[in-house]
Structure 1
Amino acid sequence: MEKNYNKGSQWIKCDLHVHTPYSIEQHYGDGQIEQVWDKFIEDLEALPEEFKILGINDYIFLDGYRKVIEEYKNKGRLKNIDLILPVVEFRIDKFGSVNQDNPFRRVNFHIIFSNELSVDIIEQQFLNSLSSEYKLFPDYESNENDWGGVITRGNLISLGTKLKESSNGKLTGSSLKIGFQSLNICYKELIKKLENPHIKGRYLTAVGKTEWDAMRWDGSPAEKKSVINKADFVFISSPDIEGFHRAKDTLKAQSVNDLLLDCSDAHSFSEQTEIKDRIGNCHTWVKINPTFNGLKYLLYEPEDRIFIGTQPEVKERVNNNKTRYIEKLTISQIDGYNENQGVWFKEQEVFPSHELTAIIGNKGKGKSAITDVIGLLGNSHNQKYFSFLNRTKFKKNGLAKNFKARLLWESGLEQESNLNEDVDIDLEERVKYLPQSYFEDLCNEIDDNENFKKEINQVVFTHLDETERLEKPTFEAFIELKMDKPGKVTHLRRMKLTMANGLPRFDLSVG
Structure 2
Amino acid sequence: MTLDRGSKWRKWDLHVHTPESFEEHYGFDGEEEVEKYDGNHWKKYLDELESVTDDIAALGITDYMSVDGYEKIIEERENGRLEQIDLVLPNIEFRLDDLVVENNSGDTTRINAHVIFSDKFSPETIRERFLHRLEFENQNGESLPLSKGSLNTLGGQHIESNPEENHLSPYVAGCKIVTISFDDILDKLDTKKFRNDHMVVLATEGWDDVNWNSQGHLTKERLFRESDALFSSNEGRREWALGITDGVEEFERSFGKPTPCLWGSDAHSYDRLCEPDEERYCWVKADPTFEGLKQVIHEPKRRVRIQSDSPRDFTPIHTLDELSIENGIVDSQLRIEEESIPLNRDLSAVIGGKGAGKTALLDMIATNFEDRWDRDKEKGEPPSDRNSFIQRIQDKEPDIKTKLSFVGEDVDEFSKQVSDETVFESADLVYLPQGKIEEYCRNEDRLHNRIIALVEREVQRTDPEMVNRLDQLRTTTEEIVENFRTITSNIYDLNPSKLNKEKESLQSRKKRLGGDLQSKKAEISNFEEKHADVLEDDEATDLRNELGKLQEEIEQIEDAEKITESVQEKVSRLSDINTQLRKLEGLLEEIDEGENLPRISIQKVKTEIEKNQERLQTQVNRKRARQDEIEEALEEMNDIQQEYSDLLVEKTTIADKISDTKRELDEIGAKLEQIEDLREERESLFVEYIQKFDEVRNQYQTIIDQFESDSSEILSDISFEPAIKARENLETRLERHIDMRRVDEDRLPNVVNKLTDAIEADTQARRKELSREFLNKTQNLTEKMLSGTKEFEYETTVFDDHLSLVEKIYFRDSPMPNLSLGQKGTVLLKILLAEEDTPLIIDQPEENLDNEFIYETLVGAFRDAKLTRQVIIATHNANLVVNTDAEQVIVANYDNNTIGFESGSLENPDIRERVTTILEGGEEAFRRREERYEIG
Task: State whether TM-score is above 0.5.
Answer: yes
Instruction: Describe how 1:127-142 pairs up with structure 2 within 5 A.
Output: 127-131=131-135, 136-138=136-138
Equivalent in the alignment of 2:601:
none
Please state whether the residue corresponding to 1:75 is helix, strand or coil. coil
State the Cα deviation string for residues 423-469 of structure 1 (Å, max 9, x = none): 3369455323232355443334x46xx65566667767978989x9x
Distance 1:213 1:280, change over 3 A: closer
SS at match of 1:201: coil
Aligned residue among 314, 321, 327 for 1:327? 321
Cα distance in 2 for residues equivalent to 1:172 and 1:267: 24
Larger mean CA deviation between 381-390 and 107-116 belongs to 381-390
C-alpha distance in structure 2 between counterparts of 1:440 and 1:99, whole Å: 64
Distance 1:341 1:415, change over 3 A: farther
What residue number does 1:472 align with? none
Choose from 163, 168, 175 the match for 1:168.
Answer: 163
Question: What's the % identity of the aligned pairs?
Answer: 24
The answer for the alignment partner of 1:408 in structure 2 is 405
Partner secondary structure for residue 8 of structure 1: coil
Provide the rounded CA distance (Å) in 2 between the counterparts of 1:280 and 1:26: 21
Following superposition, the deviation at residue 27 of structure 1 comes to: 2.6
Name whichever of 120-129 and 242-251 sits farther off. 242-251
After superposition, give the CA deviation of every residue in 1:193-251 in whole Å (9 maximum; x if it has no partner).
12232222211212211244455754354333212211111222x4x656866898899
Partner residue in 1 for 2:514: none
The alpha-carbon deviation at position 158 of structure 1 amounts to 4.8
1:20-40 Cα offsets, whole Å, 9 max, x none, are 232222233379424322333
Q: Which runs of 5+ in 1 are unaligned?
A: 469-474
Q: Give yes or no for contact 1:330–1:348 (8 Å, CA) kept in 2.
A: yes
Task: Indicate whether 1:342 and 2:346 are aligned.
Answer: no
Q: Counterparts of 1:388 and 1:120 in 2: how far apart (Å)?
A: 56
* C-alpha contact 2:416 2:422 (8 A) present in aligned 1: no
SS at match of 2:155: helix
Alignment of 1:337-376 (within 5 A): 340-355=332-347, 359=350, 362-376=353-367
The SS at the match of 2:393 is coil
Correspondence for 1:316:
313
**Contact 2:153–2:170 (Cα < 8 Å) also in 1:** yes
- The residue number in structure 1 matching 2:227 is 231
Describe how 1:25-104 pairs up with structure 2 within 5 A: 25-29=23-27, 32-47=40-55, 51-72=56-77, 75=80, 77-79=82-84, 81-98=85-102, 104=108
In structure 2, C-alpha distance between the alignment counterparts of 1:102 and 1:173, rounded to whole Å: 25
Q: Mark the CA change 1:372 to 1:100 in structure 2 (over 3 Å): closer, same or farther.
A: closer
| Corresponding residue of 1:471 | none
Match of 2:864 in 1: none
Q: Secondary structure at the match of 1:304?
A: coil
Query: CA offsets per residue over residues 481-506 of structure 1, 9 Å max, x none?
Result: 974969x9x9x953646589x999xx
Number of aligned positions between the proteins: 466
Larger radius of gyration: 2
Cα distance in 2 between the residues matched to 1:368 and 1:116: 38
Q: Distance in 2 between matches of 1:464 and 1:145?
A: 69
| CA-CA distance at 1:325 after TM superposition | 0.9
Contact 2:134 2:185 in 1 (8 A): yes
Q: How far apart are the structure 1 equivalents of 2:424 and 2:157?
A: 86
Which residue number corresponds to residue 390 of structure 2?
A: 390
Q: Distance in 2 between matches of 1:162 and 1:12?
A: 46
Q: Who is 1:417 aligned against?
A: 415
Three-state SS of the structure 1 residue aligned to 2:397 is: helix
Q: Hey, what's the Cα distance between the residues in 1 that align with 2:45 and 2:57?
A: 20
Residue 424 of structure 1: SS of its match in structure 2?
coil
Query: Could you say what secondary structure the match of 2:163 adopts?
Result: coil
Partner SS for 2:65: coil
What does the per-residue CA deviation read over 1:286-307, in whole Å, with 9 as the maximum and x for residues that have no partner? 3333332233333233233333
Secondary structure of the residue aligned to 1:189 is: helix
Q: Match for 2:184 among 176, 186, 189?
A: 189
Alignment of 1:268-347 (within 5 A): 268=268, 271=271, 278=276, 281-311=279-309, 315-318=312-315, 321-322=316-317, 324-333=318-327, 340-347=332-339
Instruction: Tell me if structure 2 keeps the 8 A contact 1:147–1:159.
Output: no
State the superposition RMSD in angstroms.
Answer: 4.6
CA distance in 1, matches of 2:245, 2:2: 36
1:144-163 residue CA offsets vs partner (Å, 9 max, x unmatched): 774835512x6534543442
| Paired AA for residue 369 in structure 2 | G
Structure 1: how far apart are the matches of 2:306 and 2:114? 20
Show the counterpart of 2:12. Answer: 14
Quote the Cα distance in structure 2 between the aligned partners of 1:232 and 1:405. Answer: 45
Bigger RCO of structures 1 and 2 (CA < 8 A, at least 6 apart) = 2
TM-score (norm 2): 0.43
1:43-79 CA-to-partner distances (Å, cap 9, x unmatched) read 44233xxx43332211211122223233126737343
The one-letter code matched in structure 2 to 1:264 is G
The 2-side partners of 1:263 and 1:325 are apart by 30
Closer/same/farther in 2, CA of residues 461 and 398 from structure 1, 3 Å limit: farther
Q: Please give the secondary structure, in 2, of the residue aligned with 1:53.
A: strand
Amino acid at match of 1:165: E
Are the aligned partners of 1:261 and 1:284 in contact in 2 as well (CA < 8 Å)?
Answer: no
Structure number having the greater helix percentage: 2
Q: Taking structure 1 as reference, are residues 338 and 359 closer, same or farther at Cα in structure 2, changes over 3 Å only?
A: closer
TM-score, with length taken from structure 1 = 0.74
The CA deviation string for residues 152-199 of structure 1, in whole angstroms up to 9 with x for no partner, is 2x6534543442233132553344321111212233332221223222
